[in-house]
Copies of this chain bind each other. A is one copy, B any other.
Amino acid sequence: MLFTRRIYQTNTNLDDALRVWFDFIQTMNPLESEVVPVHEGLGRVTAEAIHAKVSSPFYHASAMDGYAVRFHETFGASETTPVQLILHEQAVPLNTGDPVPEGFNAVIMVEDVNLTGDYVEILSPSTPYEHVRAVGEDIVQTELILPENHLIRPVDIGAMLSSGNYEVRVRRKPVVTIIPTGNEVVEPGTPLKTGNIIDSNSYMIGALANQWGAEYSRSDVVPDNKERLKQRILHSSNESDVVVVLAGASAGTKDFTPNAVDELGKIFVHGISIKPGKPVLLGMINERPVIGLPGYPVAAYMTFEMFGKPLIYRLLGIEPEQPEKVMAKLSRPVASTLGQKEFLRVKVGKVGDSLIATPVGRGAGALMTLQRADGIIQIPELSEGIAPESEVNVMLIRSKREINNTVVCIGSHDNTLDVLSNHLKKKFPAYSLSSAHVGSMGGLMAIKKAEAHIGGSHLLDEKTGEYNVPYVQRFLKDVPLKLINLVYREQGLMIPKGNPKNIKSLDDLRRGDIAFINRQPGSGTRLLTDKCLRDKEIDQRNIKGYEKEEFTHMGIASAVVSGAADTGMGILTAAIALDLEFIPVAQERYDLIIREEHMGTPMMQALIDLITSDDEFKESVISLGGYDVRDMGKVMYEQ
């Protein structure tokens, strides 16, 4: 079985891969056309030049409400020598848009006349064609309304109809067939068994195609069988303009896509030196493009943007919009592999006048990191990384307005932040809350370096037993700020349902048969753990798994649920969420640190308003379980 494995034959440089692909794309013509009613043309692309069939207006029309006159009959009119015109004979009442009658050649506004019986008295002369919209003033018959290859907007629909074009020849929408593959891949909604992978990629890639103006059809999942895959690809390439095969292009035993494409047509590129996205395949069958996308969702998404988007736009005959770019300051250093171009997802926040970019997780499988990202930065192939504080060029995923309206919270993780994020968006749709989880000390440092609006912190001072204040006084002593309480929460040991290892307290960690899972240094939970262990004089070295670290409470809870660990320290809410048992160890205070300078901004006010006085938010937090909201919104300390 193993000899069928395929190590990457090529490791093409991205620029070379793009060149090969664009050369191929350039050989393709935009698609044939179809005729649609103009009012159904929004978002379609013209397949021929549109010229005016009639002028607009197509008759001399009154531009005002008033009276049509013959301008030479108005000569000499003035305040002292008014001219009287016979109503209906010399002065014909008109509304805006009415045709100016034959022989008349000016319009006097209703505001400028006196009506006296059967006469219209005017006080100033008019000039030829005054207040008349002459034939063709807006559109002249035969003039170009839209060129070929024009993306139709609402105003274009108005212009086409006004110029007598009621139907429009547009490009047919490209049809993309998406073929998910793999025995393990199941339709969304199928009851899940271990080893199953929900086919979310097809629909995500399909939605991208839709967004770019294409239609997609998704085939059933093709199992790992080369002949069946070949049949499906061949059939699809006859029926559609673009074939996308999902996964099956890496080097696993069951990756039949390269062989299938090779036997049916031609492979241009297989394997690109980028991260994520390495196992991409580009080829053609009977002149029709075939793209093999990686199985990891982030890799699939990003490589479809690189190779699928320009292809679809080419078939439509238009150019893709370029994403907005901004310069931002990188908040922490990033290492990267030489010889591989990396596309790194970042959160971007506007703190004071600076844009700050913070790298998020890098796994090709971590879709949520892309879902939550604000932008992408590129690390060149010949770079080993980027120093902190560097200015980096960020390709934005969200708009600048959204980024400017986002409260950036860095620090300890707490589930209440999710609830806060949701309620903020619900009550104030203009604002968002973005939170990055780097532990309480990380939050403190982010506030010190002015990289966040809010630091989330639950740092216990061993000497005084006080939370947060001693740390703020030590590390942020010159920074005017407020500490606002969010919640008190229960910390304790999470254990599996039924407590199979019979854990009763922290003391059991000494036993040696218990696999512990720890939090990262600098997190409040780690400090609490260490303090409790010292209080009980338990030696860390005797705890199995003490060196294994997770970054969030839910990470700890997941490890316990899955059996990767027997227990770990975390908040009650996380235990409740994943249906674990819980042994309380301490109640701790979770505060938000906010620099004084940000307190007055409208978005911060909206957020504080929620925390201090929104009952619905408070109820939602209470319903999570494990929280005490007695001081929610209270200023615990300021300096």
Contact = CB atoms under 8 A, between A and B. Distances in A.
B98 A184 contact: yes
Interface string A110-148: 110001000000000000110001111111111111011
A222 interface: no
Interface string A553-578: 01101110110100000000000011
A280 to B, nearest CB: 15
Contacts of A219: none
A158 interface: yes
Nearest to A6: B65
Given A2-B115, A144-B421, A211-B42, A166 B137 contact: no
Contacts of A535: none
A207 B134 contact: no
Contact of A141 (B405, B552, B578): B578
Interface residues of A, number: 124
A570 B131 CA distance: 25
Interface in A321-337: 321-322
A338 interface: no
Interface in A220-278: 250-255
A135 B562 contact: yes
A2 B144 contact: no
Contacts of A93: 1-2, 253
Given A54-B192, A59-B195, A367 B138 contact: yes
A35 interface: no
B367 A554 contact: no
A132 to B, nearest CB: 9
A99 interface: yes
A162 interface: yes
A98 B184 CA distance: 8
Interface string A57-82: 11110010100000000000000000
A252 B63 CA distance: 11
A179 to B, nearest CB: 16
Interface string A80-106: 000000000000010111110000010
A423 to B, nearest CB: 8
A211 B41 CA distance: 12
A56 interface: yes
A149 B54 contact: no
A137 B554 contact: no
Contacts of A533: none
A419 to B, nearest CB: 8
Contacts of A147: 421-422, 424-426, 432
A371 interface: yes
A509 B125 CA distance: 27
A96 to B, nearest CB: 6
Nearest to A190: B166
B562 A134 contact: yes
Main secondary structure of the interface of A (DSSP, over half): loop
Interface stretch (A15-23, A198-206, A379-387): A198-206
B198 A164 contact: yes
Given A56-B367, A188-B166, A136 B49 contact: no
Contacts of A251: 65, 110
Contacts of A255: 95
A430 interface: yes
Contacts of A59: 194-195, 562
A411 interface: no
B203 A65 contact: no
B158 A65 contact: no
Contact of A564 (B55, B135, B145): B135
Nearest to A132: B564
A113 to B, nearest CB: 10
A155 B562 contact: no
A530 interface: no
A306 interface: no
Of the candidates A140, A144, A206, A548, the one having the most CB atoms from chain B within 10 angstroms of its own CB is: A140
A541 interface: no
A2 B39 CA distance: 37
B136 A301 contact: no
Contacts of A514: none
B137 A422 contact: no
A505 interface: no
Nearest to A321: B399
Contacts of A211: 42, 153-154
27 contacts: A38-B188, A39-B188, A39-B203, A57-B365, A59-B194, A59-B562, A65-B251, A96-B295, A97-B184, A134-B562, A135-B561, A138-B365, A138-B367, A140-B555, A140-B578, A141-B558, A143-B554, A144-B418, A153-B207, A154-B205, A155-B301, A155-B367, A158-B201, A158-B297, A160-B200, A161-B199, A161-B200
The 9 A-B residue pairs with the shortest CB-CB distance, nearest first, are: A158-B204, A161-B200, A136-B558, A154-B207, A95-B252, A144-B418, A140-B554, A135-B562, A147-B425
